[in-house]
Structure 1
Amino acid sequence: MRVIVRTLSELCITAGALIVLFVGYVLFWTGVRAEGAMNDQIGRLRAEWSAGSGRARPAARAEPPRAYEPGEPFAIMSIPRLGATWHKPVLEGTGTGTLKKGLGHYAGTARLGATGNFAVAGHRRTYGDPFKDVPRLRPGDAVVLTDGTTRYTYRIDEGPYRTVPTDVAVLDPVPRKPGYTRPGRYLTLTTCDPEWGHSHRLIVWAHLDATQPVDTGHPQAPRR
């Protein structure tokens, strides 16, 4: 009997140690790796833009915009309410691998700054916790994105709004919940709720308030 009790005790201790290690991995190590990955993506974009190459190079003549490449970064998002150092890369797609490196643009929704709904997803917890503080956002807050040539300032109208994952209408070109009734230039942010679960989603909606060439300091109202 003593052997059995001792064996069970050792197994419980081992299982407990493995659980602690797993929790440490989820809470700490995935965050460290994600922060490094996001910083790499931002550095890559800034290097491209500084060199005047790739997606950031202005076209010599009017041409159709280049398609976003799956899994590739194309913009940087900043949200002043979340801090002066809050900067996250935006990549194309919302697959698991993509969201480990930053925020993900829902394929099929509008391009950045274009008419329609530019929709972006991000983890609430793990992998750098990019949208951990989404509940702090309020109507009137700014969400700023840049693609290397233009700075787009969106202004939050509604949210955070809690819904279920099957409520795909939140990504409609004209989302009805925030009161939009006609085509416009909209932004939707989505993340999981509760913090450590995924039974629901938190949604934030915004409209394009101004655009600004990155080499000037004069914001311009978007053309209708």
Structure 2
Amino acid sequence: MTKVRRSRGAVLLGVVGELLITAGVVLGLFVAYSLWWTDVVADRRAGQVGGELRRDWAATAPARPGGGAEAAAPPVYAAGDGIGFLHVPALGKGDSTLIRMGTTPEVLNEGVAGVYQDPYRAAMPWEAEGNFALAAHRDGHGARFHDLDRLGKGDPIVVETKDSWYVYRVDATLPQTSRYDTGIIAPVPVGSGYHQPGRYLTLTTCTPVYTSRYRMAVWASLVRVDPVDAKRTPPPELR
């Protein structure tokens, strides 16, 4: 039989093709890890920590009639501590995200919404005035704010703590700003339309989706505080 000899060019093309295939497989595995596996791990961890927080709440004294326990004896939280849950109906029925102190990767990568501590210290919901500013990932690591762009003026947002439901309404959104724009989480957020101190909530995440080039923001103001009853009956906005 006659042996067919491949030219050097053909051999080179074959090697390049194999390398491209290998690179494609590696890239595909990396994307799967970034957008799927990190979600699985983050959701699992957030579920564990959230469950521990609810058990702690159940093991301590029940909320006082009329609520307001936080205002009577404000708790002190350290970085990473769980403080409650964020509920955003516009992100899906039953949406619930654990809220923890801090916005470092170690905190946010566990599928939570993190409370800003820098460059401004976020005011807690029970404080007389200030901006309760939160951040969460838009893709990977739980992607809790993946669909944050769904929110619009008038949408409800609820922050659940041990003793109270804090009900907010969206007043304004900012589709895109510089990632260095710290004014969006200031005590009176720049660009929000607010002009004096109040009780505000700010949600931030990266944009466009699958990038961290810019930031988007959603601003809301407190409309009421409902006490938690013995059955933890959610407010009408979550039913």
The separation in 2 between residues aligned to 1:125 and 1:94, in whole angstroms, is 16
Letter in 1 for 2:182: V
Q: Where do residues 142-161 of structure 1 align in structure 2 (5 Å cutoff)?
A: 142-161=156-175
Aligned to 1:206: 220
Q: Please state whether the residue corresponding to 1:9 is helix, strand or coil.
A: helix
**Which of 37, 44, 47 is the equivalent residue of 1:39?**
47
Aligned pair count reads 215
The separation in 2 between residues aligned to 1:148 and 1:109, in whole angstroms, is 19
Contact 2:149–2:175 under 8 Å retained in 1: no
The separation in 2 between residues aligned to 1:20 and 1:176, in whole angstroms, is 40
The separation in 2 between residues aligned to 1:176 and 1:128, in whole angstroms, is 28
Q: Does 1:87 align with 2:101?
A: no
**Which has the greater radius of gyration?**
2
Q: Where do residues 1-224 of structure 1 align in structure 2 (5 Å cutoff)?
A: 1=8, 2-52=10-60, 62-63=72-73, 65-101=74-110, 102-107=112-117, 108-114=121-127, 115-215=129-229
Cα 1:43/1:4, change in 2 over 3 Å: same
Contact 2:78–2:101 under 8 Å retained in 1: yes
Unaligned 5+ runs, structure 1? 220-224
Letter in 2 for 1:110: A
Letter in 1 for 2:152: R
Contact 1:137–1:160 under 8 Å retained in 2: no
Letter in 2 for 1:30: T
Letter in 1 for 2:124: R
Q: Which one is further off, 97-106 or 5-14? A: 5-14
Letter in 1 for 2:82: P
Letter in 2 for 1:28: W
Q: Please state whether the residue corresponding to 1:202 is helix, strand or coil.
A: strand
Cα 1:218/1:93, change in 2 over 3 Å: closer
Q: After the TM superposition, which segments of 4 or more aligned residues of structure 1 sit over 6 Å from their partners?
A: 216-219
* Aligned residues with identical type, % of pairs: 38
After TM superposition, give the deviation of residue 9 of structure 1 in Å.
2.7
Contact 1:138–1:160 under 8 Å retained in 2: no
The separation in 2 between residues aligned to 1:67 and 1:118, in whole angstroms, is 15
Letter in 2 for 1:66: P
Cα 1:10/1:80, change in 2 over 3 Å: same
The separation in 1 between residues aligned to 2:82 and 2:90, in whole angstroms, is 23
Q: Please state whether the residue corresponding to 1:178 is helix, strand or coil.
A: coil
Contact 2:168–2:201 under 8 Å retained in 1: yes
Aligned to 1:222: none
The separation in 2 between residues aligned to 1:199 and 1:151, in whole angstroms, is 34
After TM superposition, give the deviation of residue 174 of structure 1 in Å.
1.2
Q: Please state whether the residue corresponding to 1:155 is helix, strand or coil.
A: strand
CA RMSD of aligned residues (A): 2.3
Cα 1:132/1:50, change in 2 over 3 Å: same
After TM superposition, give the deviation of residue 21 of structure 1 in Å.
0.8
